[in-house]
Amino acid sequence: MAINPNTARNAKHTSVCCMTGGGKGVAMNTLGIIPAKYPVLIFDPHGEYKKIAGRKVYRYKTQMNFAKVFKKAWASGKPFALAYTPKLTGSTEKARKKSLIEAAHWFGSLVWAAADGNRILYAVFEEFGEYAEGNQKDETIIGKIWTGGRKFGIRAIAIFQRSAEVPKTIWNNSPVKVIGAQGGLNDQNRVIKELGCNARDVVDLGYRNVKLSMFAEQLDEIVRTKVHYLYSEAGGTFEKMAAYVPQSNYLVKDWTAEQKEIDKNGGYKIAT
């Protein structure tokens, strides 16, 4: 069980919302969302995390191994980055989703059991939309982390593609929001309402991502070279931020005059 409640702890829960290709991975690695001095656990359904913000991520596929390593790492008092990629069971899509939900809730229960108000623990829920159960109140252990985890040192991060599919418990209790390019109008409107921005601010994110894309010969496809975000730490406020995509940064030197002009204007702060 969570111990040592400390009501002086700051609210740092975070929602990272980017449509496919909107730069969620770049955001996690360049925007300083997780300071290097703190330990982090990652629920990683697709096994995407090898590094996070320059730190090596140690990955595990069984609950036993993950819990065992986490217990030892947590007892050490040192920072670490561990990821759990569950082995899903079931022969149907419905059964596999049930298995994924159960795995996510097990992960959340482990985070809650270890939480200590005297220490900070980051908990990342990657691809949260795949196991979120509706967009209303979340009464699972994950919702409990968002509503009650602050005073126990938990700083939870939900990463998803569509805010309209995420429970209001998660969205409303994430004072920090990192918004990348959005898809449908429902998602755009939810962002506008929360951040106090306008439709042009939201549309501009995807526009710039596309306009600054380049052809990568070795991949034989067009790739993003720079991604753009609205970053908010309190409702009704935001700042514009952008980050170069590390894997394709070498293409920036070949930007056209039009691309350079687009990039020069807009007021985006570059993440370092």
Report helix, strand or coil for 25: helix
State pLDDT tens for residues 151-167.
999 999 999 999 988 99
The span from the CA of 181 to the CA of 171, in Å, is: 17
Report helix, strand or coil for 84: strand
| Per-residue confidence band for 134, with pLDDT thresholds at 50, 70 and 90 | confident
The pLDDT of residue 228 is 97
How many helices and strands (H and E) does the chain possess?
8, 14
Phi, psi at residue 61, to the nearest 5°?
-110, -10
Give the residues across from 40 on adjacent strands: 81, 122
pTM summary value: 0.95
Phi, psi at residue 49, to the nearest 5°?
-90, 115
The span from the CA of 205 to the CA of 180, in Å, is: 6
- Is residue 23 within 8 A of residue 178, CB to CB? The reply is no
Nearest alpha carbon to residue 69 among 31, 39, 28, 105: 39
State pLDDT tens for residues 22-54.
899 999 999 999 999 999 999 999 999 999 989
